[in-house]
Every structure is written in structure tokens, then in C-alpha cells.
Amino acid sequence: MTDAERTSLHVIILAAGQGTRMRSALPKVLHALAGRPLLQHVVETASRLNPAGIHVVHGHGGETVRTALSGASVTWVEQSEQLGTGHAVQQALPAIPDEALVLILYGDVPLVRADTMAELVAAVDDGPAVLTVNLPDPSGYGRIVRDEQGFVERIVEHKDAAPGELALHETNTGLLAAYAGRLRTWLQRCSNDNAQGEYYLTDVVALARGDGCRVRAARASDPAEVAGVNDRVQLQAAERAYQHRQAETLMRDGLALMDAGRFDLRGELSFGRDCSIDIGVVMEGRVVLGADVRIGAYTVLKDVVIDDGARIDCHCVLEQARVGRNARVGPYARLRPGAELQEDARAGNFVEIKQAVIGPGSKVNHLSYIGNAVLGGDVNVGAGTITCNYDGVAKHRTTIGDGAFIGSGTQLVAPVTVAPGSVLGAGTVLTRDTEADSLTITRAPQKSVPGWARRRR
């Protein structure tokens, strides 16, 4: 597509359908695919064509749709009455100049590639261009009937097709492109004399042919690309198709996926060389992996940065966290927002870290909570340790110096500082700062009552 064509291109996205088969209070086009609304996928892909405008036609009560995509650069158009696809396009046309090219998309057809959209626009002649696809089983779909020159002669609905037409496998997807002025004229001549009493966009093909115009077709290579989403079964199929597409691209770029069918990317992923991801991993937001990173099975990563050589074992959840070079996390660990493991640090099984820095070489190996804390280098935190950072009103910080040893079952009542080299005995409840290289123990005296157990029984 030339720059001139791009600057004169307008995109209309039809998103006014009720979506009753979803059986949901949420508008159909807002149901999530890979973590984002169906409509958002269509808008983002259309934006890659750099159109002069994107016009989204929504139904009555579309405030929810507009709010969900409030950051999108689109013009919102209301279709107050649901009178068909042709009528919906008419609502957007007044804002589009006659000489502009118009590309018509659907908010519930989310997987159409930008290249396919561009091919459809480039196919526009004096008549409209339609997007078609070959289906192994075209039952129920409108067939594309071509003339001897290969132009589209008509679109025949399945129920109206003759035996020879039923044998055709090229079907109509509903996507169409045309010059705005001609499209406006054809739509004005459309009739709603049909069983549904609606104005169909596809009728412009017959009207254009009747005017002697050439109707060309662009063809989608993959049926999944043009599949609509009308119920939750189709939504799940679209999800798997989208994830498979992403997985193939990532693997070709060098990412090792143990099973592409059990991988979900719901955002953006960048990675270095020789990274591998086990089964059941879910990535959300922006995830950055360095080189030689290993992600274990059934781990969730959301907006995280993981540096070279780090290992994330199975069943971990990391959100808005950073894992340093050669650090190790898990299994069954949770890194909450603000957690940072520096080089060679370790957060082991059933450890939770939030708003805390674990210094280089430090270890929090099991069954501990570290929140609002700064740990220096080579700190050892024993099992069952808790930073008591919240007093019911405010959060307070715990600081642990280099080389400190925190015994198992310790509670550090913030604000408190453990000096470098300090040792806290197991079971200590620390409420005051320690001195460097000291031993601190807080325990009740041990007492035994002879014979008590025997009398009790």
C-alpha cells in the first residue's frame, strides 16, 4: 500500500452486536482474548495500517465499550437501532470523504492479520473488494461465485445455492473494502426485503456488478484468521489459535517451548538466547528474559524482568518483580510488586517477598515472608521468618546488613535494623536494633514439669 493510499484510508469496525450467545452481561467485543478485549485486537491491528481514521460502530448503551477502550484513538459511532451490517456502515460514512478508501472489519473477528487487511484494500477496483477463505467444509457459509475473468460475480447463501455452487469451497468472510463515495451510493440502494428485515453489507456486491463494476477478492490463507467469535466455544478456539500463532513466532525466533499447546502469552515477551519455558506457563503484561533463563512448569509471570542465567522453578507467581543474574526462585514462591532478587540470590519454596530487596548471594530458602525490607549480601534467612512490617496503620522497614544470620522462626518487628554479621537465634522476636557481629536471643525460659504427661493421660 502506498503512503497516499494509507493517508486516505478509513477503517470502520462493526461492534454493535448484542452477543446473546455469550450468555454474559459483558458486551461480546469486550470478552478477553489473550488478556485483551476482542475489539482491542482489531483496533490495534488496524492501526498498523496508519489509517486516517478508525470508526467503531457500537450499539445502544455502548458506554461500557467506550470506557474499556478509552485510550484508543478511534471515533465512536452509535447505531441506536440494530438494522443490519449495511445500516451500521451507513452510520459511520458521513464522517468519511467520498474519495477515501474504506476498510470494513468486525469487532468479533480478532485474528485478521495486518498484511491480510492491506491486501484487501489493495484489491479495490472500481467495485468493492471482498475477503474470502477456502473452507474444507463450507456448509452454512455464503459461496463466492466468480466469472470467467476471475472477478466475483455474486455471493450465494448456502440455502439458496444450486448443487454446483454448493460444491464451491471459497466462502465469504464478510470483510469488505471500497471507495467511500461508491459505497455510500450502493448502501442507499440496498433493500431490507428479506427474512430478517435488515440491510446487508454483502448486497453491495450484486449492486456493484449490476453497475458493471469489477469486484475483486483477496483470500485469507488461514480459516482461523477470519473466524468470528459468537459464543464461548468459539472464543476458546480463537484463544488457542492466537496462542499457537504467537508460539510459532517465538520458537522461530529461538525460544524453546516444551509444549507450544500449553503456553499462554497475554502481553509482550522479549528474550535472550537459549531460554526455555516449561508447560503451563502464563505471561502477562511485559516480560523480559535475559539469556539462558529457565522457567519451570505452571509459573505465572506478570510485568517482570529476569536477568541472565536465572532459574524460576515450577508453580511460582511473579508480579512487577526483578530477578537478578543467576538468581533462583521457587518452587512455589511468590514475588509480589517491588520484589527484587539481586545476583545469585535465592527465594525458595513457600517464600513470599514484597517491596523488598534480597542482596547478592542472600538466601530466603523456605516458608518465610519478607516485606518492606532491604537485605544486604550473603544473608541467610531461616525457615519461618517473618518481617512484621505493618502495625495496622503504616508500613515500616526492616534492614538486614551483610552476612547476617537469621535463625528459624524469627519475627522482626519493624522498624528495626540487624547490623552486619549479626546472628539472631531461632525463635527470636526482635524489637530493637542489634550490634554488629552480636548474638541476639529472645526466648522464654524452658520449664519442664516431671510426671505431668502421665497424670494428664
Res 214: pLDDT: 95
Q: How far is CA 109 from CA 3, 4, 28, 106, 113, in A?
A: 26, 27, 11, 5, 11
Name the residue among 294, 367, 377 with its Cα closest to residue 342: 377
In the DSSP assignment, the letter for residue 157 is: -
| Residue 366 falls in the annotated catalytic set | yes
Domains and CATH numbers, the chain: 3-226 (3.90.550.10), 232-440 (2.160.10.10)
In the DSSP assignment, the letter for residue 444 is: P
Confidence of residue 125 (pLDDT cuts 50, 70, 90): very high
Residue 337 has pLDDT above 90, yes or no: yes
pTM of the model as a whole: 0.88
* Exposed/middle/buried for residue 223 (C-beta within 10 Å: 0-12, 13-18, 19+): middle
Name the residue among 230, 233, 259, 255 with its Cα closest to residue 244: 259
Residue 6 has pLDDT above 50, yes or no: no
Dihedral sign for Cα atoms in the order 104, 106, 109, 111: positive
Confidence of residue 1 (pLDDT cuts 50, 70, 90): very low
Encode pLDDT of 33-84 as tens digits.
Answer: 999 999 999 999 999 999 999 999 998 668 899 999 999 999 999 998 889 9
Name the residue among 173, 158, 171 with its Cα closest to residue 227: 173
Name the residue among 158, 106, 153, 109 with its Cα closest to residue 135: 158
Confidence of residue 443 (pLDDT cuts 50, 70, 90): confident
Put residue 19 in one of left, alpha, beta given phi > 0 → left and psi -120 to 50 → alpha.
left
Residue 444 has pLDDT above 90, yes or no: no
Encode pLDDT of 379-421 as tens digits.
Answer: 999 999 999 999 999 999 999 999 999 999 999 999 999 999 9
| Strand, coil or helix: 319 | strand
pLDDT (average), residues 207-231: 94
Dihedral sign for Cα atoms in the order 136, 139, 142, 146: positive
Reduced to 3 DSSP states, what percent helix, strand and coil does the chain have, rounded to the nearest 5?
25, 35, 45
Any idea which of 131-135, 196-200, 213-217 has the lowest mean pLDDT?
196-200
Of the CA atoms within 13 Å of residue 389, those in its CB half-sphere come to 18
Tell me the β-bridge partners of 154.
Answer: 145
Res 12: pLDDT: 98
Encode pLDDT of 237-249 as tens digits.
Answer: 999 999 999 999 9
Structural contact between residues 359 and 375, judged by C-beta atoms closer than 8 angstroms: yes
Q: What distance, in Å, lies between the first and last C-alpha atoms of the chain?
A: 90
Res 280: pLDDT: 97
Encode pLDDT of 61-73 as tens digits.
Answer: 688 999 999 999 9
Res 351: pLDDT: 98
Structural contact between residues 276 and 256, judged by C-beta atoms closer than 8 angstroms: yes
DSSP H or E segment with residue 251: helix 232-252
Residue 352 has pLDDT above 70, yes or no: yes
Confidence of residue 159 (pLDDT cuts 50, 70, 90): confident
Res 207: pLDDT: 94
Residue 375 has pLDDT above 70, yes or no: yes
Task: Give the count of beta carbons closer than 10 Å to the beta carbon of residue 456.
Answer: 7
Tell me the β-bridge partners of 300.
Answer: 282, 317
Task: Give the count of beta carbons closer than 10 Å to the beta carbon of residue 245.
Answer: 16
Encode pLDDT of 11-29 as tens digits.
Answer: 999 998 878 899 998 999 9
Put residue 224 in one of left, alpha, beta given phi > 0 → left and psi -120 to 50 → alpha.
alpha
Q: Among residues 55, 58, 87, 366, which one is catalytic?
A: 366
Round to whole Å and give the CA distance between 370 and 388.
9
Round to whole Å and give the CA distance between 374 and 385.
14
Question: Which distant-in-sequence residues (6+ apart) come within 8 Å of 147 by Cβ?
Answer: 153
Round to whole Å and give the CA distance between 29 and 41.
10
Res 160: pLDDT: 82
Structural contact between residues 173 and 226, judged by C-beta atoms closer than 8 angstroms: yes
The number of residues in the chain equals 457
